[in-house]
């Protein structure tokens, strides 16, 4: 895997530098205020999750598990998110700031039904009625390269903050992005803290989704090369202090077949090795997924296969730090030795006279799970979990208002049913989410 990654990196870099350098964005800067923006996002979130067997089968801190052992969870909350992005001052080096402020209000839910990660939990075990948080970054730009320090959202294949609950996760550290060469994007960073969905603290510990414990910092560097709209190649390397080193290679390609038809391929490959004190246990995994999507007119069908190697399972940092194809609404299908496949259908109702309405149905099935040899320092060990299997079905509808006073208002319904064998880590669950969003641009 190392030889493969380095070879791909060499090809990408060689191809990239054969392209023309892009014009400097900093030379076109209009100023701190002139290029600034301020946007608000209103979000109402209803979350209902029913664990059919009354709890969880496994241990750990999986995002599907939130420390609550009751079998039924139901909460509703309303959030207001404000985002300010300044322009850059003029000159060779431009300076600016980005800032955000979040407010959450609990609409329904109590101690007996909490655990959806919508709201922080107080010392009395009850979800907070109101909570808020704020943060931001200072930034500088030279040509098309931007360096930021502070607290923000971000995402890449090896570590990323999520936005799957009321208020998004954020992380604190250094963030570097660069687009000096046409078709090439560079991404690097170093973070030391994260702010989880159900927290208003900017200095929360860095946590692995299943194992929990992790070192004091995470570093990464990556490159994405897109020589055409139909093709992109991504290469990343990351290090979690005293836990693991992880390498990632991704390839996305779309073939235009004409007559509103296309065939796409999406390959994701991870190689993970433990390091230092190996806080998540011994790891030596190569995990991968391959998805193929055939689209014609308003329709699209996707087939995907995913394979988890070795005994450790696939753990990850941040809610969105996993790009494997079968990481879906409830389960990640990432247990030790697991093989899973997916069938998905998407429909865009614009072709049937309802622009803004999209529908999705998905079925994923996993098998061959064996957690008996997993390191007990990780989150997957179970002495009784041998030859386990499970399946998940997702249904989703989303509508975006196309015009009028409520333009861009979106309504989204997500439903999941998950069933597993007796010792499968995720257990049996029914999951319903209703999300309403209304974005506003104020500057």
What pLDDT was estimated at residue 61?
40
What pLDDT was estimated at residue 60?
39
CA 404 vs CA 334, 397, 408, 409, 426: distances in Å = 44, 21, 9, 10, 43
CATH number at residue 43: 2.40.160.10
Number of domains in the chain: 1
Decide: residue 141, CB within 10 A, 0-12 exposed, 13-18 middle, 19+ buried: buried
User: Percentage of residues in the chain with pLDDT exceeding 90?
Assistant: 69
- The per-residue pLDDT for range 347-373, each reduced to its tens digit, is 999 999 999 999 999 999 999 999 998
Stretches in the chain below the pLDDT threshold 70: 1-20, 54-70, 110-111, 213
Instruction: Please give the residue range of the domain that contains residue 338.
Output: 2-441
């Amino acid at each position: 895997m190392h030889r493969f990654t380095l070879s791909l990196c060499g090809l990408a870099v060689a191809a990239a530098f054969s392209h023309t350098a892009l014009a400097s964005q900093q030379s076109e800067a209009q100023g701190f205020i002139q290029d600034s923006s301020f946007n608000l996002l209103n979000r109402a979130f209803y979350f209902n999750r029913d664990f059919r067997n009354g709890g969880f089968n496994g241990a750990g801190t999986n995002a599907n598990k939130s420390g609550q052992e009751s079998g039924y969870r139901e909460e509703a909350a309303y959030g207001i998110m404000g985002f300010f992005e300044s322009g850059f001052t003029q000159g060779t080096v431009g300076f600016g700031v980005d800032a955000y402020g979040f407010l959450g209000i609990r609409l329904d839910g109590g101690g007996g039904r909490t655990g959806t990660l919508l709201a922080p939990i107080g010392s009395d075990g009850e979800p907070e009625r109101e909570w808020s948080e704020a943060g931001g970054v200072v930034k500088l730009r030279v040509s098309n390269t931007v360096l930021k320090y502070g607290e923000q959202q971000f995402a890449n294949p090896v570590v990323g903050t999520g936005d799957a609950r009321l208020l998004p996760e954020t992380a604190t550290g250094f963030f570097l992005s660069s687009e000096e060469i046409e078709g090439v994007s560079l991404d690097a960073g170093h973070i030391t803290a994260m702010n989880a969905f159900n927290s208003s603290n900017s200095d929360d510990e860095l946590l692995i989704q299943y194992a929990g414990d992790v070192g004091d910092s995470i570093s990464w560097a990556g490159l994405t090369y897109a020589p055409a709209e139909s093709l992109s190649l991504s290469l990343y390397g990351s290090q979690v202090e005293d836990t693991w080193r992880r390498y990632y290679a991704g390839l996305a390609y779309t073939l235009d077949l004409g007559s509103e038809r296309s065939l796409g391929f999406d390959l994701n490959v991870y190689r993970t090795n433990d390091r230092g004190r190996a806080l998540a246990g011994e790891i030596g995994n190569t995990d991968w997924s391959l998805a193929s999507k055939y689209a014609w007119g308003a329709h699209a069908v996707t087939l995907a296969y995913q394979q988890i190697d070795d005994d450790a399972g696939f753990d990850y940092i941040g809610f969105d730090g996993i790009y494997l194809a079968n990481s879906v609404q409830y389960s990640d299908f990432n247990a030790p030795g697991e093989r899973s496949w997916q069938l998905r259908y998407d429909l865009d109702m614009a072709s049937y006279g309802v622009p803004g309405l999209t529908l999705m149905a998905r079925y994923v099935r996993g098998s061959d799970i064996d957690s008996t040899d997993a390191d007990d320092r990780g989150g997957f060990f179970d002495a009784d979990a041998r030859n386990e299997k499970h399946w998940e079905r997702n249904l989703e509808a989303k509508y975006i208002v196309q015009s009028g006073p409520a333009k861009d208002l979106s309504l989204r319904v997500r439903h999941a049913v998950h069933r597993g064998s007796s010792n499968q880590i995720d257990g049996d669950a029914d999951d319903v989410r209703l999300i309403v969003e209304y974005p506003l641009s104020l500057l």
